[in-house]
Structure 1
């Protein structure tokens, strides 16, 4: 099949972007032809996949989205399937990595042009009159879409997580951990807190910095690309800037997971939270919130603590202290059990199989 994959912007350290590229490469490996339409591409381009750049000129972000959707709709007629990784009209399939905006944008904000435009895009995908099918990766968000739009159950294909197996704790983790911590000028006894993600605000970096302030011996390392200014200002106000380290996007995420002592992912909104499962199979305990779609896995695996969304900063700090007091070997053993037993690795294969099975884009 000729597949059109559509994405507003590609950058190498985004979770949605990684999923899109992995699905595209798996489709090519099965003999399909993939063209990626996007308005911006950062980093190297993949082999055997055409990347078609469509520059847009609109000034605001929501107008750029609309302009891009209009441009790509004029180019995808000859493709067998149109697969969107952002919400827009005319898709055969939508990969639902983003949460339900109708749940978040209530009146009167929903009538502002910026939000109204985004809601219109969402309506085009999920409304009862739409024929777009949905690759669903978050059961809680799926329920919200059905509540707001009445989307038929048969339009959804539920996918398992797609965690990369290179995150699993290896037998040689001790030497990797020691070498990595030496590079960071950390002893084995110093608590190393880790934050991974490129959306600092929604993923709760401010909460992580407040937790850091209550752990005077700890260092917090932030792995991900975003604007750090407001968070650095918060750290300075709390007197912890010397213990907060912005590392930017990193290609060696497994080494960070194996070297740290606690993952802080106290998100305000998170459709899934892939890093939660990456940490768990790496034997790294997790402190997170119920806002994360994958948080039930952490509870089921006993790999950390899941806080209520309205938990106080003091409660979060206390939970972090408690998790750090538990033996690291115990966490590693739990992580190995979870890695060996959980069905969390096959998202990409299931996604491509769904596209192949529903190649006419119609409801079954």
Structure 2
């Protein structure tokens, strides 16, 4: 089959981008002809899958989004694809991979009427409706169960158009057999003292991930704990404002912003807990990656995968949006720091053995194939009827 994968822009450290490339690669391995369309591509391109960069212009992101969708549909080969799979909301998709939360909910519940009248808001609402509108035909691969009801509330999307995928974390995040020795060696390599309590955050978009909350929590820790804490942040974003915040609170010496990293597994095996006090998070794949790496996780309840933390006793889940989050985060850090580390390691091994949290890519490829076959069948029947 001929499959088109469409993504506004690619950079190698985004979860959505990694998922797209993993699904595209598996479809290619299964013998399908895959082409990726994007506005821009950072990093190494896949050897076996063509990447077509469309020359999109526009003063704003929402204008460029519309131009990208329009150019894709105007391509001569567009109608020859058995399925067009989108990883951002746009018209003309057969399948959409829903990594983003519902924009309509944010526009109507978190913003003013003036915001909804803006060009940006009206454009993104229109793009979202082109996927989820009740009269559309796009099938939707969901990675968050909770978001299905929200989309249905605003768009009355028929239930049969949704397909829920299991999580899909990478198995190399699991603690290796030589974990104790490896952890000790890595901590030495990173220059960590034996008694250092390493708090780790992983992910771009620092503001949305709650880095400001985490920095504030450092200042709220008991003195005896704070003097041995380090907060390391791995992700691609501008950290200058957060460094100023840390300096103002007197904790700048505890914060290290690492930038984008290729050694996230090693960082997780070296850390003592993962912090993810997000303001908004559709799923939070990094939560599961940390859990199988032996880390207790502290996250907010807005994260789609937060239930795994509480269900499997691998950390604490905090209320998502209130003024007390930083104080509650500081208390959770202290609680976890006082718990025997072997407890988290034992729980993590059980979790990795018992839960289906690795097969998103396979299920997504299966579903794309089924939609493409259904489309082929429909086209065939239409031609016979004609």
TM-score (ref. length: structure 2): 0.92
* Structure 1 segment 131-210 matched on structure 2, within 5 A: 131-210=137-216
Paired position in structure 1 for 2:383? none
User: Aligned equivalents of 2:217 and 2:186: distance in 1?
Assistant: 23
User: Aligned equivalents of 1:42 and 1:213: distance in 2?
Assistant: 37
User: Aligned equivalents of 1:45 and 1:150: distance in 2?
Assistant: 38
User: Aligned equivalents of 2:154 and 2:373: distance in 1?
Assistant: 26
Paired position in structure 1 for 2:229? 218
User: Structure 1 regions of 5+ residues with no counterpart?
Assistant: none
Please, which of 251, 260, 272 is the counterpart of residue 240 of structure 1? 251
Contact 2:212 2:242 in 1 (8 A): yes
User: Aligned equivalents of 2:26 and 2:268: distance in 1?
Assistant: 26
* Structure 1 segment 1-364 matched on structure 2, within 5 A: 1-75=1-75, 76-106=78-108, 107-215=113-221, 216=226, 217-311=228-322, 312=324, 313-359=326-372
Post-superposition shift, 1:154? 0.5
Q: Deviations over 1:231-278 (max 9, x none)?
A: 111111111112111111111211111110110000000000000000
User: Aligned equivalents of 1:89 and 1:125: distance in 2?
Assistant: 6
User: Aligned equivalents of 1:298 and 1:93: distance in 2?
Assistant: 30
Post-superposition shift, 1:27? 0.2
Contact 2:94 2:137 in 1 (8 A): yes
Considering fraction of residues, name the structure with more helix: 2
The secondary structure found in structure 1 opposite 2:89 is coil
Post-superposition shift, 1:180? 2.1
User: Aligned equivalents of 2:282 and 2:127: distance in 1?
Assistant: 18
Q: Deviations over 1:142-197 (max 9, x none)?
A: 11111111111100111000011111111211222222222332112110000000
User: Aligned equivalents of 2:97 and 2:126: distance in 1?
Assistant: 17
The secondary structure found in structure 2 opposite 1:245 is strand
Post-superposition shift, 1:360? 5.1
The secondary structure found in structure 2 opposite 1:46 is coil
User: Aligned equivalents of 1:361 and 1:305: distance in 2?
Assistant: 43
Contact 1:81 1:361 in 2 (8 A): no
RMSD between superposed Cα atoms in Å:
1.4
Range moving further from structure 2, 166-175 or 116-125? 166-175
User: Aligned equivalents of 1:278 and 1:188: distance in 2?
Assistant: 24
TM-score (ref. length: structure 1): 0.97
Query: Which of these two proteins has the greater Rg computed from alpha carbons?
Result: 2
Q: Deviations over 1:120-155 (max 9, x none)?
A: 100100000100000010011111111111111100
